[in-house]
Structure 1
Amino acid sequence: MSEASGRIAITGANGFVGRAVSRALLGRGIAATGLVRGGAQCEPGVDARRIGDLGALTPDAFEGCGAVIHLAARVHMMGDAAAQKTSTSQAQALLQAYRAINVDGTLAAADAARRAGVTRFVLMSSIKVLGERDPGRPFTEDDARDPPDAYGVSKAEAEVKLLEFGSRTGLEIVIVRPPLVYGPGVRANFLAMMNAIARGMPLPLGAIDARRSLVSVDNLASATIECALDPAAAGRVFHVTDGYDPSVAELARKLGEHLGKPARLVPVPASVLRGLARVAGKTAQIDRLTGSLRVDSHRIREALGWQAPQSLDEGLAATAAWFRNRKP
């Protein structure tokens, strides 16, 4: 699909990534249709279409669109890890809840889009389909899927089934796998870290040299649109990162610099943190913090010629500016 060939539909257009994709599309002069539930609001200039469950989508929702960027999903929630450990039945119920939206809902959306005449369907997946920690080197798109939790399993299954669907029907499928996404409007752990730094709280991260790939929401939006437009993207999987993997301690220091509040980092060895985590029942969280998760994103740069519009520092500066100016 070319920029001149029509409108792009975005499921989940009212979300963190969806809003960035919407702004980027409109900034390039590409018409955008946002598929959102209930009274959710889209970015100004986006044609909002109200939908119900993904499984009930009809071709009418995608009328006039040449491509779809599928962002709507059940996302990973903090309480899910505990639920998975409670009992086998609860873990299975949780997995089924993820599958209902992330697998079945995705396939239903793809089928409705295909019947509406859409030619390309871009799925926003996650690096979690490969694991929680890298294997001693950056993950590549060719690594075997090894998801660590129900969310990752559902995204891995969605990838496989969607690619099969595309092969069977002729719908062009593109898979995008981001690592941690940050930027203005970010929530969860990234926002918690900024809050802690801004308040001058000591953080036991000074000795954590584990490296983590990141992607700014604007870089991710740019790459995702490229995947919707470039003919060379069809049928492929792409990792998207900022192109530099900071250590956890380095990231905290950089955030402190951009916030104008030097991060108070205490050099606690990773082994000590892991020991304390076992006592507190927080092993999974600390393992993620102390383990590297590096992602190789050369493929999208080489195959599509995509270049990140923002550097890591530019992305962090924009995020810090939003943080300072936001309303409590």
Structure 2
Amino acid sequence: MPVNKVLLTGATGFVGSALLAHLQKQVSHTVAIASRSEHVRIERGCQMFNLGEFGAQTNWQPALGGVGCVIHMAGRAHVLTQEANALELFREANARATLNLATQAAAQGVKRFIFISSIGVNGAYTVDLPFSESSEPAPNADYAISKQEAEVGLLQLAQTTEMDVVIIRPPLVYAAHAPGNFRRLLKLVHSGIPLPFGRVNNSRSMIALENLVDFISLCINHPAAANQIFLTSDGVDFSTGQMIRLLAQGMGRKAALVPFPMSLLNMSAKLLGKQGVYTQLCGSLQIDTSKARQLLGWTPPMAAEAAMIRAGEEFNNRIVGS
């Protein structure tokens, strides 16, 4: 039976806000929002439930009435470096809070629970073969560990209840207003500063915001998505240099790439304590998305090259218009 009502958590985030806008354009179901703050603006046509902090003890009953599908995006992505109990904080927000919500959702008769996990569950980089759903999980950070623990609990819950589970592990999600490292890269490309990535010959799978939103939306009702894990991407991999060139093209400028030796880049990153940044910019992370394409018949609606160029163009327009 088709889902008539969706409960969305994390609706104010980068991906969540785009997904909310997408879902509101569809007439097949209504959307409810679960918020942690009473100061969140209520979107027209949406029910909003202010439940306070999401944790292992949160009472979700007020928000679950009549809900057919929960899309859970809320969680903790960052912890201050001085926090000694970082893993515990991640576990509370990303594992225990998720399983508390899912358990109550199953008890309320929710048909499907979609959990937005992370490609970090598979690992930080690939060497010979791309990650796939059959790859052995190898989370190397506290955040990814907590996401994997949530996944394990959800799949166990699906075996003992009538609620099915869909787990989605996206890689880096990009757009002109993306946060984090992609925003830093946009700023660097826009500045025109020469960037030392001319010799970087890596391959990275990413996903445009529009494509991820489309895939999540497809999973709400698709019968073949039940109790599956999906790795998603645009289906086209870029080197860091290619990414910079496409962003620069969108900004109407020439990419400033310097052929800096990789060994010196690696040494500099170690000396500065930025090995993680080096891995992201110079290492490879490839994803095999054939399962999503074959099982669900999914094709990304936006071509990767066009999406990357548009990200640069829209970022430039924001800067020029500010």
Under a length normalisation based on structure 2, what TM-score does the superposition of the two structures give?
0.93
- 1:269 to partner: Cα distance: 2.1
Alpha-carbon distance between aligned partners in 2 of 1:7 and 1:166, rounded to the nearest angstrom = 20
Choose from 137, 140, 145 the match for 1:148. Answer: 140
Choose from 270, 274, 281 the match for 1:278. Answer: 270
> What do residues 199-234 of structure 1 show as CA deviations (whole Å, max 9, x unaligned)?
111111111111110101111111011112101100
Alpha-carbon distance between aligned partners in 2 of 1:9 and 1:318, rounded to the nearest angstrom = 30
* Residue 72 (structure 2) aligns with: 70
1:240 equivalent to 2:238? Answer no
Alpha-carbon distance between aligned partners in 2 of 1:69 and 1:24, rounded to the nearest angstrom = 13
1:48 equivalent to 2:24? Answer no
Q: How does 1:237-316 map to 2 (within 5 A)?
A: 237-316=229-308
* Residue 37 (structure 1) aligns with: 36
Alpha-carbon distance between aligned partners in 2 of 1:209 and 1:292, rounded to the nearest angstrom = 9
- 1:45 to partner: Cα distance: 3.4
> What do residues 92-113 of structure 1 show as CA deviations (whole Å, max 9, x unaligned)?
x100000001000000111222
List alignment gaps of at least 5 residues for structure 1: 85-89
Alpha-carbon distance between aligned partners in 2 of 1:42 and 1:180, rounded to the nearest angstrom = 28
Alpha-carbon distance between aligned partners in 2 of 1:9 and 1:151, rounded to the nearest angstrom = 24
> What do residues 271-323 of structure 1 show as CA deviations (whole Å, max 9, x unaligned)?
21001122222222213322100011111111011111111123223323431
Give the CA RMSD over aligned residues.
Answer: 1.7
Greater mean deviation of Cα atoms: 148-157 or 286-295: 286-295
* Residue 87 (structure 1) aligns with: none
| Contact 1:197-1:261 at 8 Å conserved across structures | no
1:24 equivalent to 2:16? Answer no
> In structure 2, the residue corresponding to 1:123 is in which secondary structure?
strand
Identity, % of aligned positions: 34
- The number of aligned residues is 316
Choose from 197, 203, 209 the match for 1:211. Answer: 203
- 1:196 to partner: Cα distance: 1.1
Alpha-carbon distance between aligned partners in 2 of 1:76 and 1:223, rounded to the nearest angstrom = 25
Alpha-carbon distance between aligned partners in 2 of 1:236 and 1:295, rounded to the nearest angstrom = 16
**Which ranges of 4 or more aligned residues in structure 1 deviate by more than 4 Å?**
none
Which of the two has greater helix per residue? 1
* Residue 178 (structure 2) aligns with: 186
> What do residues 39-87 of structure 1 show as CA deviations (whole Å, max 9, x unaligned)?
123554333222212231322212121001100010145x54xx58xxx
| Contact 2:192-2:255 at 8 Å conserved across structures | yes
Distance change >3 Å, CA 43–CA 215, structure 1 → 2: farther
| Contact 2:117-2:147 at 8 Å conserved across structures | yes
Alpha-carbon distance between aligned partners in 2 of 1:197 and 1:135, rounded to the nearest angstrom = 27
Greater mean deviation of Cα atoms: 152-161 or 39-48: 39-48
| Contact 2:86-2:142 at 8 Å conserved across structures | yes
| Contact 1:213-1:294 at 8 Å conserved across structures | yes
Alpha-carbon distance between aligned partners in 2 of 1:71 and 1:283, rounded to the nearest angstrom = 28
* Residue 160 (structure 2) aligns with: 168
Alpha-carbon distance between aligned partners in 1 of 2:209 and 2:33, rounded to the nearest angstrom = 18
